Chains A and B, each alone.
Chain A
Amino acid sequence: MTKIILSVDDSASVRQMVQLTLQGAGYQVVQANDGAEGLAKAQATPVDMVVTDLNMPVMNGLGLIRELRKLPAYRGVPILFLTTESDAEMKKQAKEAGATGWITKPFQQEQLVSVVKKVLGA
């Protein structure tokens, strides 16, 4: 069964690149423009993984993770950060909020696929 990945980023071009990359690797991708939209979509359609930006309007990536981790269905779902941020303190906050991993932009397509496969085990 095709795994569904939610891509949350306020940059349409990044979302498009993530979708192209992951669809090419056989995943289904759902897009959201910010944390609030991502939360709504995650609640409406169960997803197998979330790949989210950090700095976004309305609700940022940390807010999204914290809200998702409150939901029983998302306590164990992998959530990756895909961001230009590489600040150690920010990474610590992300880990405390429940992030599974961190990929720094700009990313290589092969790197994204490799990390997603490793985390999902498929």
Chain B
Amino acid sequence: MTPVDATETFRQEAQELLEQLEHTLLEIGHRPGDADLIDTAFRALHTIKGSGAMFGFDRVAAFTHHVETTFDLVRKGKIAATAELIALTLAAKDQMRQLIEAPDAASDADGQAILARLQAAVDGASGAAAPAESGPTTWRVNFRLPSGAMATGSNPLLLIEELRGLGDATVTAQTAMVPALEDLDPTECHVAWSSRVAEGHWLARHARSRQAGAMRTLHRVCSRRVTRSQHIRPPVCLAGKEAALSFRAKGRPS
């Protein structure tokens, strides 16, 4: 076995940890005082940092160190796991993924901006003065289609178009899971998408109760675009300035 194998093991491990981190953060949104969840998120960050440094992913380790430090404050009860903090940690998670999977395309300026906002959120959560924010809520919507989705005629482009109709949307394709051409399976949709949807007039009008209503609206749109043989796991919503919605369409058990 060569060191290259260990590096690949780290990539796979990091991918699993980032998925676990996302799931855990969204759960913390529902249960911000759950110490087990907070420990799990901290450990994921801790492992990505430590293993990243070990295998030469220095940018990953340096960036994650700051996020881990923030979450350590949450773990020690010094600051609360506010919705803003969770949303920013989710943004940091996306940056970590970029640094691991496509480091050449990862922008250090974006990373620094996230860390600056994270620090501001920490200051706010720990009682320091934080400027009040105004303006529309931004939704983060991450999705991918289930196994075999293309065989059932699902067309993710329709879902993306409809999401764009809800507000000012920035949609980014996540192509890390696209295999080599010879391994490509035409019945599988290998691409996932992450998007940010700034709440426009349409979404605001149909979501009088803010986050809860907006979440229902987004869920309805997304559900409608998935074929009958599939279902969407209920989305998770975080209250606050930036809300997060993450779901994965799953095949319905037969």
Flag the segment in A13-21, A93-101, A113-121 that touches B: A13-21
Question: What are 24 inter-chain pairs, A to B, with CB distance below 8 A?
Answer: A10-B47, A11-B47, A11-B51, A13-B6, A13-B7, A13-B9, A13-B10, A13-B13, A13-B51, A14-B50, A14-B51, A16-B5, A17-B3, A17-B6, A17-B55, A57-B40, A57-B43, A83-B50, A84-B46, A84-B50, A105-B50, A106-B50, A106-B54, A106-B61
Q: In terms of DSSP, what is the predominant structure of the interface of chain A?
A: loop
Q: Which of A12, A13, A107 has the most CB of B within 10 A?
A: A13
Query: Is B177 part of the contact surface with A, judged by Cβ < 8 Å?
Result: no
Which of B7, B13, B42 is within 8 Å of A11, CB to CB?
B13
Tell me how far the C-beta of B253 lies from the nearest C-beta in chain A, rounded to whole angstroms.
28
Given A56-B43, A84-B46, are A16 and B54 neighbors across the interface (CB < 8 Å)? Answer: no
Which of B3, B39, B49 is within 8 Å of A20, CB to CB?
B3
Q: In terms of DSSP, what is the predominant structure of the interface of chain B?
A: helix
Contact A12 B40 (CB under 8 A): no
Query: Is B181 part of the contact surface with A, judged by Cβ < 8 Å?
Result: no
A binding-site residues for B, Cβ under 8 Å: 10-14, 16-17, 20, 55-57, 83-84, 105-107
Q: How many angstroms between the C-alpha atoms of A16 and B5 in the bound complex?
A: 9
Name the CB-closest residue of A to B1.
A20
Query: Is B53 part of the contact surface with A, judged by Cβ < 8 Å?
Result: yes
Q: How many angstroms between the C-alpha atoms of A36 and B49 in the bound complex?
A: 23
Tell me how far the C-beta of B171 lies from the nearest C-beta in chain A, rounded to whole angstroms.
32
Name the CB-closest residue of A to B55.
A13
Residues from chain B with a CB closer than 8 A to the CB of A17 are 3, 6, 54-55
Lowest 9 CB-CB distances: which A-B pairs, in order? A13-B10, A84-B50, A106-B53, A106-B54, A13-B9, A11-B51, A105-B50, A11-B47, A16-B6
Q: How many angstroms between the C-alpha atoms of A10 and B50 in the bound complex?
A: 11
Given A11-B47, A57-B40, A84-B46, are A16 and B53 neighbors across the interface (CB < 8 Å)? Answer: no
Q: How many angstroms between the C-alpha atoms of A12 and B48 in the bound complex?
A: 11
Contact B54 A13 (CB under 8 A): yes
Extra 11 A-B pairs, beta carbons < 8 Å, given A13-B55, A16-B6, A57-B43: A13-B54, A14-B51, A55-B46, A56-B43, A57-B39, A57-B40, A84-B46, A84-B49, A105-B50, A106-B50, A106-B61
Q: How many angstroms between the C-alpha atoms of A83 and B49 in the bound complex?
A: 11
Residues from chain B with a CB closer than 8 A to the CB of A12 are 9, 13
Contact B6 A10 (CB under 8 A): no
Contact A11 B6 (CB under 8 A): no
Name the CB-closest residue of B to A53.
B50
In chain B, positions 122-142 with a C-beta closer than 8 Å to chain A are none
Q: How many angstroms between the C-alpha atoms of A57 and B42 in the bound complex?
A: 11
In chain B, positions 1-25 with a C-beta closer than 8 Å to chain A are 1, 3, 5-7, 9-10, 13
